[in-house]
A and B are shown apart, each in its own frame.
Chain A
Amino acid sequence: MIHATAAQMAHALSAGEITSVTLTEQHLDRISQVDDEVHAFLHIDREGALEQAATIDAKRSAGEKLSPLAGVPLALKDVMTQKGIPTTCGSKMLEGWRPPYDSTVVTKLKSAGIVILGKTNMDEFAMGSSTENSAYGPTHNPWDLSRIPGGSGGGSAAALASFQAPLAIGTDTGGSIRQPAAVTGTVGVKPTYGGVSRYGLVAFSSSLDQAGPCARTVLDAALLHEAIAGYDPKDSTSINAPVPQVVAAAKKLDIKGLKIGVVKELSGAGYQQGVREKFEESLEELVKAGAEIVEVSCPNFDYALAAYYLIAPSECSSNLARFDSMRYGIRVGDDGNRGAEEVMNLTREVGFGREVKRRIILGTYALSSGYYDAYYGSAQKVRTLISRDFESAFTKADVLVSPTAPTTAFKIGEKSDDPLAMYLNDIATIPVNMAGIGGMSLPCGLAPEDGLPVGFQIMSPAMKDDLMYQVGGVLEAALLEKWGQPLLASSPSFGAI
């Protein structure tokens, strides 16, 4: 039943219609059939997954009370540590590294009985928007294998879109959950910063990184959201407050009277025609469902991309300093004559890819004395202005919306030589990370000009993640009714449902 939703699988499992072992085997079979082409996974933990599935089945037959998603398989982005399982972050630097500890997200997944199939491909250390920056080769978009699946979490999104897993974990620093979701026709949610523990998430940019659920439906994402969210004393930046009731919100299917703000700065020029069309059509559906559409302006969003490309590289230049070949990871050039410093330099030359080096150098520059105020300091001020824009917009609207990405999936290799063109992919997703609020992307149709999925982004105020699920649930239901089938059913190669 690989084409079912996670909620349906969970239902079948609890009704005794299928065992977790069978469900897991079906997914493992699917992986062996299609992943040579898609390359969503970097590591498959066949034995571990089946063992975990068998444990859940045993508990279920013993009559134990299980979590809602117990026994449902999931794909884990390779940026999350899982004890004993290779964790590379898509980098050569960590080739062969098996962490001696579980990330908090993995601990929660395990205790919820969710079966971890393996680790998914990503741009190296989550830096990229196409998954082309993986040291282990690119992931292909299941809608068109010659195209990118978005990034950095292209592996997780592609795994969902090719029915290799019903659920996946992503991380989103500037759009790495939402933009892949948009271009693969799946659902991806970046929770409020601090809503999900970052402990065990290999840091790219600590003040922006946030793990979140990836799924094929809004409800599935909500179920996974509740499984992984919550306060963690190991993450000092996590929120010590109850998790928003996102499952209930996703099921509410009512947005009458809700005000939905269209962000003026996140549409128009630079956005593909078909993307704009599908976005407009979705707004109509929301109006039909009883919401009020208002236009809001967030003038400082124009500076968000520039600020992001100073803050994220600055933090990454420090976060990635630990990869020095002394304690873990690869070591290059240790011939017995070279000193530690030289070996570090050589290891980092070989271990990091071009984009990672580019950002480390950029961040080193932005933090260095004499430039700090002009670059890092100014970028942090822009961050304040962006938060203020959001605050004022949220006085006019309950949630804000925009297209998730300016374009549909582009061809592999098309933008790899132009960092600035590549960075533009995240223009609509970055403000959310800058302000630490919640953001969701869900599929809103196929662009007529290329037949590729378009993402609809919903942004909710910090700690009100339930609002975006509420709106997402309504829009998803309206579109499903309009289309008569899920969008993925029309995916040419892997969509046959």
Chain B
Amino acid sequence: MALNFDQALEKYEPTLGLEVHVELNTHSKMFCGCATEFGAEPNTQTCPVCLGLPGALPAVNGKAIESTILIGLALNCSIAPYSRFARKNYFYPDMPKNFQTSQYDEPICINGYLDVEIDTEEGKKTFRVEIERVHMEEDTGKSLHVGGSTGRIHGAEYSLLDYNRAGIPLVEIVTKMIPGTDKYAPQVARAYVTELRDILRSLGVSDVKMEQGSLRCDANVSLSPRGSGILGTRSETKNVNSLRSVERAIFGEIERQATRLESGERIIQETRHFLEESGLTRAGRSKEQAEDYRYFPEPDLVPVTPSAEWVEELRATLPEKPSTRRKRLQEAWAVPDKEMTSLINAELLDVVEETVNLGADPSKARSWWLGEISRLANEKDVSATSLVTASQVAEIIALISSGELTDKLARQVVEGVVNGEGTPREVIDARGLKVVSDDSALMAAIESAIAAQPDTAERVRGGNIPAAGALIGAVMKATGGQADAAKVRELLLKHLGQA
């Protein structure tokens, strides 16, 4: 009988483990000077080192070490005074040397933690995710499977290898077992990866684009019968390439494992692949015999022994923690929780802050980005930040405050900028989107309105100020919305002797 998530949680407690691989955004690769540009023509960013040609030797990119130490520090890790590279030996065609230069029992950073906050039924709750290690390694090449069903390994006739990605510095961040998340396991996992991503972004060490593979997550899940204290066999799900998928994969894996256990089957320690379409996982090819990686210290490289001074220098450069920053901004902008969450989920916090820093009013900046711009972005199925820049939005907001634009006109300006009609100023000029501020033009419209509604005008003259609304509306209509309503009101009341 298939168990759903709630049923699964009634009987079992999940334990999580997360391994995140992050490609660093160094200019050159981990062990050679090849460029790391994403999307370059195949095999144009390769050399004897990253192709594993006979005789080639690795040389460590110092920037990558620095980035790894920064990551460790941001994750509250101890930085090992002595660490070493090791060779992880196994054969795979996308790995040029048939060993991965990685780290084994002597990683650069150990024993850290990251606190993540999630919404629970009892309100906000913080979970501490303990970090076991942060170590350096190198990425593999990419294979393209040709023939059979396209892109799939199975049924392919042959494979084509591109080693541009081979040797890009990779940092692996491994958590300890995370117990006690209970039904919040999927959310905790997502919150962890999100927080980690924000930290990495704030450090500027990676592009952290899950869709391009510069941040990849493997999720380990095991279940233990409630109260038994016996940890079950874990599965490791790979290929989880969005934040939402992290959550879904764990959700699905809890259901799958519980269902298996319920029907008396055992969980196999295996690698599983997340299927984006269904949210399910499928088994990887089970290995009939266990791999033996035969780790040993990499003889071509020397130990990394960061001095305490260097580590402290790096610690001093750590940026504000994203969680601290969020709290600070929320307070400064006086944003309600819900809207803050929307901003964060929409990944608009950075751009809103930038817009505010350019002089815009926080609430205006938020409402433009979260409102009109996000709406346009949704329509076009792109990110809001790809449509307009913070400085353009700040400029538009400034034009509204100075009365040069109305909200309605401003929306047209945004539309123009998005359509590539130029800068806000150019759009205003080209489309002739000027607020009618010429008093004589407005006075003409006011006089026509009074002439058309003499009774209303009389009531206003008699002191019934709210009645002026009908006249103002008529003026606005007559000027096609390009008049500043406040200005119209001021002129009208003055004209009727009420100012």
Q: Which residues of A contact B (CB under 8 A)?
A: 80-81, 87, 89, 94, 97, 99-101, 103, 198-203, 205-207, 233-237, 314-315, 317-318, 321-324, 326-328, 336, 340-341, 344, 364, 367-369, 372, 376
Please provide the chain B residues from 81 to 118 with a CB less than 8 Å away from any CB of chain A in the complex. 87, 89, 91, 93, 96-99
Q: How far is the CB of A134 from chain B (nearest CB, A)?
A: 16
Please tell me which one of the listed residues A81, A99, A233, A364 contacts residue B294 in the complex, with CB atoms under 8 A apart: A364
Please tell me which one of the listed residues A80, A87, A328, A341 contacts residue B91 in the complex, with CB atoms under 8 A apart: A341
A321-B53 in contact (CB<8A): no
Residues of B within 8 A of A97 (CB): 54
With A and B bound together, what is the CA distance between A236 and B299 in angstroms? 10
Q: How far is the CB of B343 from chain A (nearest CB, A)?
A: 46
With A and B bound together, what is the CA distance between A326 and B91 in angstroms? 11
B161-A326 in contact (CB<8A): yes
A321-B97 in contact (CB<8A): yes
> Which residue on B lies nearest to A311, using beta carbons?
B299
Chain B, residues 53-70, CB within 8 Å of chain A (1/0): the string is 111111110000000000
How many contacts A-B (CB < 8 Å)?
102
Please tell me which one of the listed residues B56, B98, B301 contacts residue A236 in the complex, with CB atoms under 8 A apart: B301
Q: How far is the CB of A108 from chain B (nearest CB, A)?
A: 15
Listed by A's residue number, 11 A-B pairs whose Cβ atoms lie within 8 Å are: A99-B53, A198-B57, A199-B57, A233-B59, A236-B58, A315-B299, A321-B91, A324-B91, A326-B93, A368-B292, A372-B296
A206-B93 in contact (CB<8A): no
Residues of A within 8 A of B158 (CB): 336
Task: Give the interface size class of chain B.
Answer: 20 to 34
B99-A318 in contact (CB<8A): yes
B498 interface hit (Cβ, 8 Å): no
With A and B bound together, what is the CA distance between A372 and B295 in angstroms? 9
Q: How far is the CB of B93 from chain A (nearest CB, A)?
A: 5
Q: How far is the CB of B314 from chain A (nearest CB, A)?
A: 22
Please tell me which one of the listed residues B52, B87, B302 contacts residue A327 in the complex, with CB atoms under 8 A apart: B52
> Which residue on B lies nearest to A233, using beta carbons?
B59
With A and B bound together, what is the CA distance between A315 and B86 in angstroms? 12
A81-B57 in contact (CB<8A): no
Given the contacts A321-B98, A322-B96, A340-B93, A314 and B55 also touching, CB distance less than 8 Å: no
Chain A contact surface mostly: loop
Given the contacts A237-B302, A318-B294, A340-B159, A80 and B98 also touching, CB distance less than 8 Å: no
Given the contacts A99-B54, A200-B55, A314 and B292 also touching, CB distance less than 8 Å: no
B48 interface hit (Cβ, 8 Å): yes
With A and B bound together, what is the CA distance between A326 and B292 in angstroms? 22
Q: How far is the CB of A406 from chain B (nearest CB, A)?
A: 28
> Which residue on A lies nearest to B293, using beta carbons?
A369
B58-A327 in contact (CB<8A): no
With A and B bound together, what is the CA distance between A487 and B48 in angstroms? 42
Residues of B within 8 A of A100 (CB): 48, 53
B58-A94 in contact (CB<8A): no
Residues of B within 8 A of A236 (CB): 57-60, 300-302
With A and B bound together, what is the CA distance between A317 and B93 in angstroms? 17
A202-B54 in contact (CB<8A): yes
> Which residue on A lies nearest to B52, using beta carbons?
A322
A81-B59 in contact (CB<8A): no
B397 interface hit (Cβ, 8 Å): no
B294-A327 in contact (CB<8A): no
B91-A344 in contact (CB<8A): yes
B41 interface hit (Cβ, 8 Å): no
B455 interface hit (Cβ, 8 Å): no
Please tell me which one of the listed residues B51, B54, B157 contacts residue A87 in the complex, with CB atoms under 8 A apart: B54
With A and B bound together, what is the CA distance between A368 and B293 in angstroms? 8
> Which residue on B lies nearest to A315, using beta carbons?
B299
> Which residue on A lies nearest to B58, using beta carbons?
A236
B157-A314 in contact (CB<8A): no
With A and B bound together, what is the CA distance between A442 and B157 in angstroms? 58
Given the contacts A236-B60, A367-B296, A368-B292, A81 and B99 also touching, CB distance less than 8 Å: no
> Which residue on B lies nearest to A238, using beta carbons?
B57
A368-B294 in contact (CB<8A): yes
B54-A322 in contact (CB<8A): yes
With A and B bound together, what is the CA distance between A205 and B300 in angstroms? 10
10 additional A-B pairs beyond A321-B91, A324-B98, A328-B53, beta carbons within 8 Å, are A80-B55, A101-B53, A200-B55, A206-B299, A206-B300, A235-B59, A236-B60, A317-B89, A322-B52, A367-B89
